[in-house]
Amino acid sequence: MTEERAVTVFRDYLRIKTVHPTPAYDEVVEFLKNLAKDVGIQCRTLEVHPGREVVIMTIPGSDPSLPSVMLNSHTDVVPVFENEWKCDPFEAKKMENGDIYARGTQDMKSVGIQYVEAIRKLKKENKLNFLRTIHVTWTPDEEIGGKLGMSKFVQHEEFKKLNVGFGLDEGLANPTDAFTVFYGERTPWWIRVKCPGKPGHGSRFIEDNAAEKVRRVINSFLSYRDEQEKKLKTHGCLKLGNVTTLNLTNLKGGFEGSFNVVPTEMFLGFDIRIPPTEKLEDFEAMMKNWLKEAGEDVTYEFVQYNPMQGVTATDKNCPWWSTFSSVFEKLNIKIETEIFPAATDIRYIRELGIPALGFSPMNNTPILLHDHNEFLNERVFLRGIDIYCELIPALANVPKK
């Protein structure tokens, strides 16, 4: 049976190894430029940092003075443990039932191709007569925080010229018939804690040593983690995005191979995700108190710090939400609203005060981002294109206030 062109394009995109730590960015930029040419839409690139290019595809609106709509996706993917996969994670193998296995199928190469293939379809049907300009943007380095990608992009003069008024970016799969829409994100904080202490020989009881302080820090942080996990499990109405997660991800200290030396300092790394319902200053004050109780001279620094907690309105008074949700009402599709549990590039858009939603049209699909054997069924993928064929014109034709 002949494969639909959109599926072939998707699989070709998946085969480009934009995997960290050495993503094939040059190859993917060339692929996207050729894709835009094939569809027949404007395309340009913007180097926001040496070796980091943003691809911008544009469909001009009839009134360029109106704020535009930005459809964003990132091109990079996370590493894989190949021995845990049932097939080559960059082969984009399609099974008999239509499941396509590859890194990036869900996170988020599918969405970028769905945007473009929806535009191709609308163009063929002569339905690209939009009021507002549409920009399809492709950013690098999202999987490592976006510091050299979207963060640089939104600060660039060329971004300001795009006059973005609303944005779409990635969401998550939903295992049920419904689709999930994310109107905000938890704030990601990565912190590094330094615990200094008195050194000495491993055969002695050294007072005020670094490990004692480390233990107290871990006890405080992980006790709070237990409280939040219990809160999530005992309140059926809560989702992961409604609570704070706090995980110890790094622990370093001592000399390699030396087991008889009590070190002068030890370091801990924590990944913290704080929901918009919690005040960041209150959480930081609580954290400072934990470190003070752990012992003298225990300090911390932010490896990643985000001071903003932007959310997008989900009521009928917001024209963007009203338009977005009305499309699903028209299609008789159920949507569920949530706070995104992790962090995406769209946070940089919300920090500018621009309303934005996270949405990946994947239902009846297990959540497998960053997991082994990530896959997406081609029927789900193709249905997503049809959904964007309704969404894109609706958003591009939101009337002037």
- Complete edge-to-edge strand list for the sheet that includes strand 265-274: 245-253, 265-274, 187-196, 299-304
Q: Which of 76, 169, 170, 345 is catalytic?
A: 76
Strand partners, 59: 134
Retrieve residue 253's tokens. 């200290």
User: For residue 14, which of 22, 26, 24 has the smallest C-alpha distance?
Assistant: 24
Dist. CA 192–CA 190, nearest whole Å:
7
- Determine whether 284 is an active site residue: no
Q: CA–CA separation, 130 vs 118, rounded Å?
A: 14
Q: Provide the 8-state DSSP code for 76.
A: -
- Is there a catalytic annotation at residue 12? no
In terms of Cα–Cα distance, which of 19, 18, 21 is closest to 31? 18
Q: Cis omega (within 30 of 0) on the bond before 108?
A: yes
The span from the CA of 69 to the CA of 269, in Å, is: 38
Distance, in Å, from the CA atom of 361 to the CA atom of 45, rounded to the nearest integer, reads 27
| Residue at 157: amino acid letter | E
Which one from 53, 107, 142, 345 is the annotated catalytic residue?
A: 142
CB 370 within 8 A of CB 107: yes
CB neighbours of 213 closer than 8 A, spacing ≥ 6? 195, 196, 197, 266, 294, 295, 298
Q: Which residues of 198-212 are buried (b: 16+ CB within 10 A; e: fewer)?
A: eebeeeeebeebbeb
| Residues, the chain | 401
Catalytic residue IDs: 76, 142
